[in-house]
Amino acid sequence: MTYIFQPDRHLLVEQIKKNSHYIKGKVLDVGAGHYSRYEKFFKAEKYIKMDINHSEHVDIVGSVDNIPMEDNSVDSIVCTQVFEHIRYIDKSASELFRVLKKGGYVILTVPQLNELHEEPHDYFRYTKYGLKSVFENVGFKIVEMDQRGSFFSSTAQMIIRFLSDYFDLYNRKILGKVLGKFIYLFGMLSIRLDNIVKHSANKKHAIGWCCVLKK
């Protein structure tokens, strides 16, 4: 599969790295998928990968709204780009709170702006106010609320995703490689513009959020 740059993915990795110091000890990666995308950024004594689908790289098969673990059983939780795909938001937030030890942290990322994906299991998008409401209601303290992208990178993300899907760039090696160079420059320019333009109008737009929660 051809690599196509996305501002969302680039900024998401930067957010995880920036907040990685919160994650330590016995770590649960909720919705880990088939590989440990961010494990290398954490100082974990034990890293447990949970996903709804079974694979050789998954340690626990389970759903976020019914995590098959004991109360207060993990020191930290990582949950990236999962909550848009779950139906029972409050129950899932309560489950994260239940299995986390007191004083433990969660790094959670969600989209505010995304194309439809993993259909039909694509249910929600979040603002920072929605996140605050959901997780404070179950007992979490919001430690960090880190915005991912502003107007320029949000716009670029949508354009890049449209072009990638329209021209099937991930599966067309030569075309993907040629256009990929221009897409990379376009995407990086959009991120640079977001860093330059400090006006509040720019910050009203976001690709998504990285939220650090404490029990």
Rounded to 5 degrees, φ, ψ at 208 are: -175, -165
What is the residue whose two structure tokens read 């929660």?
213
pLDDT of residue 53 exceeding 90? no
Helix (H, G, I), strand (E, B) or coil at 213: strand
- The band of 56, judged by pLDDT with boundaries at 50, 70 and 90, is confident
Q: What are the residues whose beta carbons fall under 8 Å from the beta carbon of 112, sequence distance 6 or more?
A: 125, 126, 127, 206, 207, 208, 209
Mean of pLDDT values over 74-97: 97
| Mean pLDDT of all residues belonging to the chain | 96
Contact of 154 with 206, CB cutoff 8 Å: yes
pLDDT for 14 beyond 90:
yes
What's the token pair of residue 133? 């409401």
Paired with 212 in beta bridges are: 107, 144
pLDDT above 90 coverage of the chain, percent: 93
192-213: pLDDT as tens digits: 999 999 999 999 999 999 999 9
Rounded Cα distance between 77 and 60, Å, is 14
CA distance 182 to 156: 12
Instruction: Write down the pLDDT at residue 1.
Output: 81
Distances (CA, A) of 78 to 131, 164, 166: 16, 28, 32
Residue 109 confidence (pLDDT) above 80:
yes
Alpha-carbon torsion, ordered 8, 9, 12, 14, to 10 deg: -110
Indicate the pLDDT class of residue 34, thresholds 50, 70 and 90. Answer: confident
d(CA 79, CA 96): 9
pTM: 0.95
DSSP state of 161: H
Would you give the DSSP letter of residue 36?
-
